[in-house]
């Protein structure tokens, strides 16, 4: 694996994972339902998985299969009143078709996790083009 690509993956996994854990932990004091705690804990586990993969990557051979799964979870963007899902660490560039038309969103050095059931989200679907495994 190219040394610069390995370094980029280390930043996205370890750095994005730590940012994601820190941002997600802030929401634990604002929730009042058990399902919200379960969703937040699931995102903390996903970000922790990214940190773990980054550490494994720094120690030796790249865990390619696990990295593909981790970044594969970051590809879809789904938005609807029934279910909404988005997960990203590090860099994010999402191209989506929503009710308002074709749009895009770029975020640098941040992490985001969203999972909602029966919410007020508009209809839309898209992909995070940065997260291709």
Please give the full DSSP string across 79-103, using - where no structure is assigned.
E-SSEEEEEE-S-EEEEEEETTEEE
Q: Mean pLDDT over residues 84-92, rounded?
A: 88
Q: Which residue has the higher pLDDT, 111 or 20?
A: 20
User: 132 pLDDT exceeds 80?
Assistant: no
Count of domains for the chain: 1
Find out whether 40 and 27 touch, Cβ atoms under 8 Å.
yes
Residue 133's pLDDT is: 55
The predicted-structure confidence for 48-68, as pLDDT tens digits, reads as follows: 999 999 999 999 888 899 999
Residue 105's pLDDT is: 85
Q: Which residue has the higher pLDDT, 130 or 127?
A: 127
Q: What does the alpha-carbon distance between residue 72 and residue 36 come to, in Å, rounded to a whole number?
A: 23
**Boundaries of domain holding 22:** 3-131
Residue 82's pLDDT is: 95
The predicted-structure confidence for 3-46, as pLDDT tens digits, reads as follows: 999 998 998 899 989 999 998 999 888 888 898 899 999 999 99
Q: What does the alpha-carbon distance between residue 131 and residue 133 come to, in Å, rounded to a whole number?
A: 6
Residue 104's pLDDT is: 87
β-partners of residue 126 are 77, 96
Q: What does the alpha-carbon distance between residue 60 and residue 43 come to, in Å, rounded to a whole number?
A: 26
Q: What is the average pLDDT score of the chain?
A: 90
**Max Cα-Cα span within the chain:** 46
Q: What does the alpha-carbon distance between residue 110 and residue 132 come to, in Å, rounded to a whole number?
A: 17
């Amino acid at each position: 694996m190219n040394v610069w690509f390995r370094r980029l993956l280390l930043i996205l996994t370890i750095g994005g994972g730590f940012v994601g854990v820190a941002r997600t932990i802030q929401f634990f004091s604002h929730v009042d339902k058990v399902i919200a705690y379960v969703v937040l804990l699931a995102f903390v586990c996903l970000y922790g998985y990214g940190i773990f993969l980054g550490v494994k990557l720094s120690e030796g051979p790249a865990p390619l299969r696990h990295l593909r799964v981790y970044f594969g979870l970051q590809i879809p963007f789904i938005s609807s009143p029934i279910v909404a899902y988005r997960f990203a660490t590090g860099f994010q560039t999402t191209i989506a078709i929503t009710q308002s038309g074709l749009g895009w969103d770029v975020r640098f050095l941040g992490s985001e996790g969203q999972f909602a059931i029966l919410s007020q989200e508009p209809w839309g679907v898209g992909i995070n083009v940065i997260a291709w495994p």
